A and B are shown apart, each in its own frame.
Chain A
Amino acid sequence: MSKLVPEVCPFCGAGCGIYLQHQSQDMITLLPSRADPISEGRLCIRGWHLAALVRNSQRLCSPLINGTAVPWAEAVAAATDSLRELPANRVAILAAGHLTNEEAFAASYLGRQVLGTGHLDNFGRMVDGPTICGLQYSLQQPYTRPPLNDLINCDLIVCLNSNLRELNPQAGAWVKKAQKAGSKLIVIDEADDGLGADADVYIQHAVRARASVLEQLSRILAGEPELSLELAHLGPASITEALYQAADMINSAARVAIVLSARACSIPQPAMIAGKIAQQINTTAPGSAQVIAIGGTPNCIGLIHMGLAPRDGNDQSPPGLAVGEILAHDQQDIDGLIVIGEELSAWLGEAGLKALARRLQCLIVLDSLHTPTTEIADIAFPMAGFGEKEGSFTSLDGTLRWSGQVVEPVAECRYLPQIFAEIAGELGHQDFPVEIDTIWEQINQQIPGYGDIELADLRANRPVRLDETTLTQRTGPMDQDIELPSIETTAERPYTLRSRYDANWWIYDGRVPAIPALYREVRDLEAGYALMNPEDMEKERVRPGRSAVLQTATGGARLLIYPLAGIPEGIIILPAHQLKFLQRLLGFGEYDKECSAIYRAPVAAAVKRG
């Protein structure tokens, strides 16, 4: 029987602490940790099943070439042969958000030092990027959140996800604990998925109007003119009253936490405005408000620090492509892709995965599990999984947390840096860092914020904090995007068709007539709808609720048109949850690399009745 090995759950950004213990043979047991300040002995269903993740029949046990098991040497030779053939700038590496910092460093080293490519990114950014970026934008500094257990010290919690208990269960438990300790709870969401029923004030808003509602709250708090209800379409008229009530509660609270789950925000605006509100409150009462954003992945920020993100040109190399660009259906810049620990069909669908594999000359996958991605890969390597390696995660709260190794990797699985070292060795790089000690020497030297961190402290589970003063602040395209380029309309296409991104943060996805039935109709019938100024509609002889054909340079679509008086003349709004129509009419959009979110610039459009 092994000693108890402290671990951090890799399934979400809450970072619950557990222990694993190796009993005998393939038996691993899990023990929840009451002394862990975040989990205090509680775990969600994912955490409870972590031991089964270490040993199960889905483990990938040997290297594969085209789905068939081969000896290691053969797989390494095949991988190096393919990589040798490709120009460096046509190779990319994409990593899952659950890699440890040490693995990420090795992946980044392989990319930048060995292969010479800057096309490195991680999937954690797909989940957490928009939120981290949004907060960074409004706070004007790298975002560090207070630890989850700080919620207990708040006397008001404003939660933006009624399904927090599903997204980050431990955060849900802390909200409940805080309530029990006397904190008030405001929940703002479009439908109640549980937490609303527990709230002192539950503000139900129109579908996808979260940012608009937050903007309204911000204006109320600042005493600025309110958004016009009709234009903003926040929801029922009573919503303004509820927001005033919320503002009163905020004003009289000594400590406020705005809680949001990054997994539920695919765009940066909610986090941006949440950050703005916290700033507003702190201007009058310094230090009294904070945003507690919980990541959907355990180590997104660590992976960015380690270099698994396209750099924005402040190092010598030109910025690389980002995950959304690399996976884009029409990308033609990448021929060789190394994917680490991610199941791509979850993002692309099965057909998308097949198309990607066809498009690439070489797909190399490292994973600890058998997945459709390892099946379709040209070459797949079995990787040491959770509990079979040691390493650290960087939590959004600015601390580093260590997970130890409880068993040797199963079958032929190997530690990721070791796999890369073999490939690098074949490519003529003999000094690839494999040992944790060597990796940490280099992390200490090279990674801002990590200079003073002692590996011994990490291994001993002593509290370790990043030196935040040396972290580089990342700002990016978002600054410019606030002012959108004006659109050249033509006689042929006299209207400007806009989606969610606009000169105002809040206009991103709201403004949908607040009729749930309409939303349902749209969802169920797969119909689409757009909103126009009533006078424009009259001019085009389009009747409310009837369909019209919208035509842009990229395509056309028949949509139901509804009037909305607040919309300026000449503007048509296509509410942003209608992905299919957005793609058809506004194109695939612009991918904001920094946030890992997609924006679609306005385009000129024509309206034809019938």
Chain B
Amino acid sequence: MADIRQYILPKEKLQQAIQRLFQLPDEVVAPTTAPRGDIYFQPVNSGAEVELDFGNSLVSPVQCIVPSEEVIFEYHQREQGPPEIVAPPPPAPQIILGIRPCDVAAIQNLDNFFIEREPADGLYEARRQQTTLIALACPEPVADTCFCTCCEGGGLYAREGFDVQLSLVEGQYLVEVATEKGQRICQLWDDLLSPATQEIVEARDAQEKKAIYARTGPDANLAAAIRRITADAVNPEIWEAVGHDCYSCGGCSYLCPVCTCYDVVDINYDEDHGVRVRRTDSCRLGGFTREASGHIPRNTAASRARWYAYHKLSHDYYKQQARYGCVGCGRCIITCLGDIGMPTVCKLVRQSEAEKVS
């Protein structure tokens, strides 16, 4: 945390600060209200459209960096020779305003997967470089489905991974600037900020502790589940139970900000031209492991549920990425038709331990 600079922004100046973001050439993406009343991260044109009093959006803002569907290239068949390949235009700069700490943590997972592991993914890297994250810390868990605080490394405010972070503490915003990209934002706000005091920083920590102590949301106790899974000491019957409840809809991984699987398909309306796109895929779908022969190794919802958990909750994952495959955002709880989000799975894993011991 050494090179994070800390300032104070009076609460009543926030709107002004947001409005100034529009002076930059960047597109501002922020939580905003959709026609039915849902909140999603969408491009906005003015501060008035921004809704910062929200829980979290059901669709993670990481989709501004890894969209659920994106063009890899366009191809045109020529009379002779190989087809002409047209790359998509380079991504424009964007500011994601209001991203929650869990999603900031998820982006660190994604950075590891798409950039830090060779070879880097060009599409992701280009968009990531053009993205500035202005995180909005949670004074307390903002939804009854949040459990970031019992995912190791998570917390109500981000310790790293953001460019700027805003934490509402005792009626004013603690503004943290962690990067050069953040510095650029900070310059816009120069006259609105004053240096942070030690008290406000300590008050934020105290506020977090208090909120964690008082929280009533789901308990995942991820660490215990991970220990159990890493030791492969899980009663296999629990996967049958999870498989029974699972509809194989794929929702949990489509909405998971940490999941990275994608499929590549061509969309073409005639033989001569088309686009190659990648789309998010899900290991919960029946056909995910279909082989060329037609054989499907993981052909039951139970075996796929096991795979999903073993991937997300294994220590091996940690060894590779130095992170777990869940940041506790709770989206899988909301979207699951079978009511078996991550905390439920963790609980079953932990209980299966108890059974074995007894």
- Name A's B-contacting residues (CB within 8 A): 1, 4, 6, 17, 19, 23-36, 40-45, 47-48, 51-52, 55-57, 59, 61, 165, 169-170, 172-173, 176-177, 180, 194, 197, 410-411, 460-461
B208 CB to nearest chain A CB (Å): 26
B58: chain A residues at CB < 8 Å are: 31-34, 41
Q: Which residues of A contact B201 (CB under 8 A)?
A: none
* Inter-chain contacts of A40 with B (CB < 8 A): 334
Contact A176 B339 (CB under 8 A): yes
What is the CA–CA distance of A29 and B43 in the complex, to the nearest angstrom? Answer: 15
Contacts of A28 in B (CB 8 A): 69
Question: Which of B173-181, B184-192, B246-254 has 4 or more CB atoms under 8 Å from chain A?
Answer: B246-254
The B268-299 residues at the A interface (CB cut-off 8 A) are 268-270, 274-275, 277, 279, 285
A410 to B67, CA, bound (A): 22
Complex Cα spacing A530 to B172, Å: 82
Task: Indicate if the CB atoms of A59 and B269 lie closer than 8 Å.
Answer: yes
Q: Which of B247, B250, B334 contacts A41 (CB 8 A)?
A: B334
Contacts of A26 in B (CB 8 A): 71, 267, 275, 277
B70: nearest chain-A partner, CB-CB:
A27
Residues of B within 8 A of A33 (CB): 34, 36, 38, 58
User: Cα distance A61–B269 when bound, in Å?
Assistant: 7
Residue of A nearest to B269 (CB): A61
Check: B244 CB closer than 8 A to any chain A CB.
Answer: yes
> How far apart sit A57 and B268, CA to CA, in the bound complex (Å)?
5
B74, B267, B338 — most chain A CB neighbours (10 Å): B267
Contacts of A31 in B (CB 8 A): 34, 38, 40, 58-59
Indicate whether B25 reaches chain A with its CB closer than 8 angstroms: no
What does the 1/0 interface line of B256-276 toward A look like (CB < 8 Å)? Answer: 000000000011111000110
Chain A residues with CB under 8 Å of B277's CB are: 26-27
> How many cross-chain pairs have Cβ atoms below 8 Å apart between A and B?
125
* Interface residues of chain A: helix, strand, loop or mixed (majority): mixed
**B residues in contact with A48, CB < 8 Å:** 249-251, 254
| Interface assignment of B37: CB less than 8 Å from any CB of chain A | yes
Contacts A26-B275, A28-B69, A52-B279; is A42 near B251 (CB within 8 Å)? yes
**B314 on the interface (CB 8 Å rule)?**
no
**Is B68 in contact with chain A by the CB < 8 A criterion?**
yes
- Name B337's closest neighbour in chain A (CB-CB): A173
* Contact A41 B335, beta carbon cutoff 8 Å: yes
Asked if B336 is at the interface (CB within 8 A of a chain A CB), the reply is: yes
Residues of B within 8 A of A23 (CB): 67, 69-70
**What's the Cα separation between A194 and B69 when bound, in Å?**
33
Tell yes or no: B42 within 8 A of A by CB. yes
CB distance from A609 to the nearest CB of B (A): 48
Across the two chains, which residue of chain B brings its CB closest to A460? B35
Taking a contact as CB atoms under 8 Å apart, the answer to whether B335 and A57 are in contact is: no
Among A4, A52, A56, contact of B40 (Cβ-Cβ < 8 Å):
A4
Closest to A1 in B: B43
Evaluate whether A177 and B339 lie within 8 angstroms (CB atoms) in the complex, with A24-B71, A44-B249, A197-B244 already known. yes
In this complex, what residue of A is CB-closest to B339? A176
Tell me the smallest distance from the CB of A30 to a CB of chain B, in Å.
7
A264 to chain B, nearest CB (A): 17
Measured in the bound complex, the distance between the Cα atoms of B38 and A417 in whole Å is: 32
Question: B249 and A169: CB pair below 8 A?
Answer: yes
- Of the candidates A6, A27, A55, A410, the one whose C-beta lies within 8 Å of that of B36 is A6
B89-132 contacts to A, CB under 8 A, are none
Q: Of B40, B247, B268, which one neighbours A45 at CB under 8 angstroms?
A: B247
Q: Which residues of B contact A55 (CB under 8 A)?
A: 267
* Interface set of B (CB-CB < 8 Å, partner A): 34-38, 40, 42-43, 58-59, 63, 67-71, 74, 88, 244-245, 247-251, 254-255, 266-270, 274-275, 277, 279, 285, 334-339
* Bound-state Cα–Cα, A431 to B36, Å: 36
B43 partner residues in chain A, CB cutoff 8 A: 1
Closest CB of chain A to B42's CB: distance in Å?
7
Docked Cα-Cα span, A194 to B246, in Å, equals: 10
Not counting A29-B63, A35-B38, a sample of 7 additional A-B residue pairs whose C-beta atoms are within 8 angstroms of each other reads: A4-B34, A4-B40, A31-B40, A34-B58, A41-B334, A48-B249, A197-B244
Q: How far is the CA of A177 from the CA of B339 in the complex (A)?
A: 8
Instruction: Enumerate chain A residues within 8 angstroms of B338, measured Cβ to Cβ.
Output: 173, 176
A51 CA / B67 CA spacing, docked (Å):
13
Q: Would A61 and B270 count as touching, CB distance under 8 A?
A: yes
Minimum CB–CB distance for A407 against chain B, Å: 13
- Interface hub of A35, A59, A461 (most chain B Cβ within 10 A): A35
* Complex Cα–Cα for A332 and B43 (A): 59
- CA separation between A43 and B59, bound complex, in Å? 13
Q: Considering only CB atoms, which chain A residue lies closest to B247 in the complex?
A: A169
In the assembled complex, the CB of B144 is this many whole angstroms from the nearest CB of chain A, namely: 13
Choice from B248, B250, B266, B334 contacting A57 with Cβ under 8 Å? B266
By beta carbon, the residue of chain B nearest A412 is: B269
The 6 tightest CB contacts between A and B, nearest first, are A35-B37, A35-B36, A173-B337, A35-B38, A61-B269, A4-B34
* Partner pick for B71 among A25, A30, A41, CB 8 A cutoff: A25
* Closest residue on chain A to residue B241 by CB atoms: A197
Give A271 to B258 CA distance when docked, in angstroms. 45
Q: Is the CB of A44 within 8 A of B335?
A: no
- Contact A194-B244, Cβ < 8 Å, known A29-B67, A29-B69, A32-B59: yes
Q: How far is the CA of A518 from the CA of B249 in the complex (A)?
A: 36
Shortest C-beta distance, A154 to chain B (Å), equals 17
Q: Which residues of A contact B339 (CB under 8 A)?
A: 173, 176-177, 180
Give min CB distance, A524 to chain B, whole Å.
23
The 19 sampled A-B contact pairs (Cβ below 8 Å) are A19-B35, A19-B36, A24-B88, A26-B275, A29-B69, A31-B59, A33-B34, A33-B36, A34-B38, A34-B58, A42-B334, A42-B336, A45-B250, A45-B285, A51-B68, A57-B267, A194-B244, A197-B244, A410-B269
Contact assessment for B69 and A165 in the assembled complex, using a CB-CB cutoff below 8 Å:
no
B36 touches A461 (CB 8 A): yes
A34/B35 in contact, CB under 8 A: no
Closest to A174 in B: B337
Report chain B residues within 8 Å CB of A32: 58-59, 251, 255, 335
Q: Is the CB of B69 within 8 A of A51?
A: yes
Tell me the complex Cα distance, A461–B269, Å: 33
B234 CB to closest chain A CB, in angstroms?
21
Which residues from chain A contact B42 at a C-beta distance below 8 Å?
Answer: 4
Docked Cα-Cα span, A51 to B274, in Å, equals 17
Q: Are A29 and B68 closer than 8 Å at their CB atoms?
A: yes
Residue of A nearest to B34 (CB): A4
Q: Which residues of A contact B255 (CB under 8 A)?
A: 32
- Pair A165/B269 contact, Cβ less than 8 Å: no
Q: Which of the residues B37, B269, B285, B335 comes within 8 Å of A43, measured between beta carbons?
A: B335
Contact at B74–A25, with CB atoms within 8 Å?
yes
Bound CA span A82–B67, Å: 48
How far, in Å, is A255 (CB) from chain B's closest CB? 22
In angstroms, how far is the closest chain B Cβ from the Cβ of A257? 19
Contacts of B69 in A (CB 8 A): 23, 27-29, 51
Report B352 CB to chain A, min CB distance, Å.
Answer: 19
Chain A residues within 8 Å of B37, by CB: 35
Q: How far is the CA of A590 from the CA of B248 in the complex (A)?
A: 40
CB distance from A399 to the nearest CB of B (A): 14
Are the CB atoms of B269 and A19 closer together than 8 Å? no
Q: Which residues of A contact B63 (CB under 8 A)?
A: 29
Which residues from A are CB-within-8-Å of B71?
Answer: 24-27
Closest to A176 in B: B339
CB neighbours (8 Å) of B74 from chain A are 25
Q: How far is the CB of A511 from chain B (nearest CB, A)?
A: 33
Q: Smallest distance from the beta carbon of A183 to chain B beta carbons, Å?
A: 14
* A169 & B337 in contact (Cβ 8 Å cutoff): yes
